[in-house]
Amino acid sequence: MLNLLAQLLKALNSESAPGQIALAVAFALWMALTPMWTVNNLLLFTLVLMLRVNLSAFFAALAGFSLLALAIDPISQRLGASLLQMTSLQDTWTALYQHGFWRVLQFNNTLMLGGSVIALLAFLPVSMLVRLLVVQYRARLLRWIQKLKIVQALKASKFYQWYQAAVE
């Protein structure tokens, strides 16, 4: 929990652009809503590593969204199943199924498809919302938060310093 909080504070208080944090949260949402150990998530993680998105924010959001996914999974699964069984989309799915690349991405898994669709639909709104929140936070709450004793204690801890050094 401390780890999560430290990551969040690190991200919010860093010099990172709000867009980097917003993109990290959106990618985290995508990764959290789909089955974890898949090629799809490996590619996503590779993308996260290669792009200058904020990693602290990414890991913090991934942990948070993974908890959220437990509640959303049944909806994702039903959505995926209904999409895969939709008559009008059968030709599309069948065409995708003929290519190994798409099958490796497991588009024909109900949870993968449903989770991906929800994550993609939410990608842009989440990015924009997070960006807005970060900007507002830095403008209005940053100074007040940094004065809090708990934050100062946290930032003074060895763990935070070690983590900061490691990430930077």
- For other proteins, the binding residues (CB under 8 A) are 35-36, 39, 46, 48-52, 69-70, 73-74, 77-78, 80-81, 84-85, 90, 93-94, 97-98, 100-101, 103-104, 106, 108-112, 114
Please, what is the minimum distance in Å from the beta carbon of residue 53 to other proteins? 8
Closest CA to 163 of 48, 21, 4: 4
Please, what is the minimum distance in Å from the beta carbon of residue 2 to other proteins? 24
Token pair, residue 35, equals 């089955």
Residue closer to other proteins by CB (options 77, 145) is: 77
Please, what is the minimum distance in Å from the beta carbon of residue 146 to other proteins? 27
Closest CA to 123 of 21, 28, 4, 18: 28
Which residue in this structure is represented by tokens 């199924």?
A: 97
Closest CA to 16 of 119, 130, 123: 130
Please, what is the minimum distance in Å from the beta carbon of residue 58 to other proteins? 11
Residue closer to other proteins by CB (options 135, 167) is: 167
- Amino acid at residue number 118: I
Residue closer to other proteins by CB (options 27, 153) is: 27
Residue 68 in 3-state DSSP?
helix
Residue closer to other proteins by CB (options 87, 139) is: 87
Please tell me the distance from the alpha carbon of residue 133 to that of residue 149, in angstroms, as a whole number.
23
